[in-house]
Structure 1
Amino acid sequence: MSKAICYGMIGCGMMGQEHLRNIALVEGAHVGAIFEPDAGMRAEAAALAPGARFVDSVEELLADRMVEALVVTSPNHMHLPQLEQIAQASPRPVLVEKPLFTDPTDLDRVRGLGLSAPVWVAMEYRYMPPVAALIDTAEQATGGIRMLTIREHRFPFLPKVGDWNRFNAQTGGTLVEKCCHFFDLMRHILKDDPVRIMASGGQDVNHLDESYDGQTPDIWDNAYVIVDFKRGAHAMLELCMFAEGARYQEEISAIGPKGKIECLVPGPGRFWPAHLGAPPVPQLIESPRDPKGPRAIDIAVDPALLAAGDHNGSTYYQHARFADVVRGQGAVEVSLDDGIWAVLMGMAAQESARTGRAMAISDRGFTPV
Structure 2
Amino acid sequence: MKTINYGIIGCGMMGQEHLRNIALLDGARVAAIYEPDDAMAQAALDLVPAAQRMPSIEALLDLPDLDALVMVSPNHLHLAQLELIAALRPLPVLVEKPLYTNTEDAARVRHIMETYPAPVWVAMEYRYMPPIAALLDQAQAATGGVQMLTIREHRFPFLEKVGDWNRFNRNTGGTLVEKCCHFFDLMRLVLKSEPVRVMASGGQAVNHKDESYGGEVPDVWDHAYVIVDFASGARAMLELCMFAEGSRYQEEISAVGPTGKIEALVPGPGRFWPVQLGSPPVPQLIVSPRMPKGPQRIEIPVDPTLLAAGDHNGSTFYQHQRFLAVVRGGGSPEVSLSDGYAAVRMGLAAQESASTGQAVSLAPEA
TM-score, structure 2 as length reference: 0.98
Q: How does 1:65-80 map to 2 (within 5 A)?
A: 65-80=64-79
Question: Could you say what secondary structure the match of 1:255 adopts?
Answer: strand
| Of 111-120 and 240-249, the range deviating more from structure 2 | 111-120
Q: CA deviation at 1:3?
A: 3.1
Give 2:92's aligned amino acid: P
The residue that corresponds to 2:45 in the other structure is 46
Change (3 A) 1:12 1:208: same
Alignment of 1:208-227 (within 5 A): 208-227=209-228
Letter in 2 for 1:316: F
CA shift at 1:274, angstroms? Answer: 0.4
Q: Deviations over 1:135-182 (max 9, x none)?
A: 000000000000000000000000000000000000000000000000
For the pair 1:92 / 2:91, whether they are aligned, the reply is yes
Shift of 1:90: 1.2
Q: How many residue pairs get matched?
A: 364
Alpha-carbon offset, residue 63 of structure 1: 1.1
Residues 8, 70 of structure 1: 8 Å contact kept: yes
**Could you say what secondary structure the match of 1:107 adopts?**
helix
Letter in 2 for 1:279: P
Whether the 8 Å contact between 1:321 and 1:330 is mirrored in structure 2 is no
Given residue 25 of structure 2, which amino acid in structure 1 is its aligned partner?
A: V
Aligned mates of 2:42, 2:123 — CA distance in 1: 24
Residue 340 (1) aligns with residue 349 (2): no
One-letter code of the match for 1:163? D
1:357 and 2:358 correspond:
yes
The equivalent of 1:244 in structure 2 is 245
Query: What corresponds to 1:23 in structure 2?
Result: 22
8 Å Cα contact 1:124/1:318 also seen in 2? yes
Is 2:267 the counterpart of 1:276? no
**CA–CA distance in structure 2, aligned partners of residues 174 and 341 of structure 1:** 16
Match of 1:83 in 2: 82
How many angstroms apart in 2 are the aligned matches of 1:115 and 1:244?
Answer: 40
In the alignment, is the contact (CA less than 8 A) between 1:101 and 1:343 conserved in 2? yes
Q: What's 2:169 paired with? A: 168
Gaps (5+ residues) in structure 2?
none
Secondary structure (helix, strand or coil) at the match of 1:227 reads strand
Question: What do the CA deviations read for 1:111-133 (whole angstroms, capped 9, x no partner)?
Answer: 11221000000000000000000
> 4+ residue stretches of structure 1 with deviation over 3 A?
362-365
Q: Cα offset for 1:193?
A: 0.5
Alpha-carbon distance between aligned partners in 2 of 1:37 and 1:94, rounded to the nearest angstrom? 20
| 3-state secondary structure, aligned to 1:138 | helix
Distance in 2 (CA, whole Å) between partners of 1:8 and 1:363 is 36
- Contact in 2 for aligned 1:98/1:180 (Cα 8 Å): yes
Residue 288 of structure 2 aligns with which residue? Answer: 287
Distance in structure 1 (CA, Å) of the matches to 2:235 and 2:101: 26
CA distance in 2, matches of 1:333, 1:182: 16
Q: CA deviation at 1:261?
A: 0.3
Q: Look up the match of 1:198.
A: 199
In structure 1, the residue matched to 2:101 is 102
User: CA separation in 2, counterparts of 1:3 and 1:320?
Assistant: 15
Determine the C-alpha separation between the residues in 1 that align with 2:25 and 2:363: 37
Identity %: 70
SS of the residue aligned with 1:362? coil
Alpha-carbon separation, structure 1, partners of 2:236 and 2:55? 45
CA distance in 2, matches of 1:330, 1:25: 22
Q: Tell me by how many angstroms 1:329 deviates.
A: 1.7
Q: Secondary structure at the match of 2:362?
A: strand
SS in 2 for 1:71: strand
Partner of 1:62: 61
In structure 2, the CA distance between the partners of 1:363 and 1:94, relative to structure 1 (3 Å rule), is farther
Unaligned ranges ≥5, structure 1 = none
Residue in structure 1 matched with residue 327 of structure 2 by the alignment? 326
Q: Could you say what secondary structure the match of 2:264 adopts?
A: strand
Distance 1:28 1:165 in 2: 34
Instruction: Give the letter aligned to residue 301 of structure 1.
Output: V
1:147–1:255 contact (8 Å) kept in structure 2: yes
Per-residue CA deviation, residues 59-117 of structure 1 (Å, 9 max, x unaligned), is 00111111100000000000000000010011111000000111110000011122100
- Whether the aligned pair in 2 keeps the contact of 1:341 and 1:363 (CA below 8 Å) is no
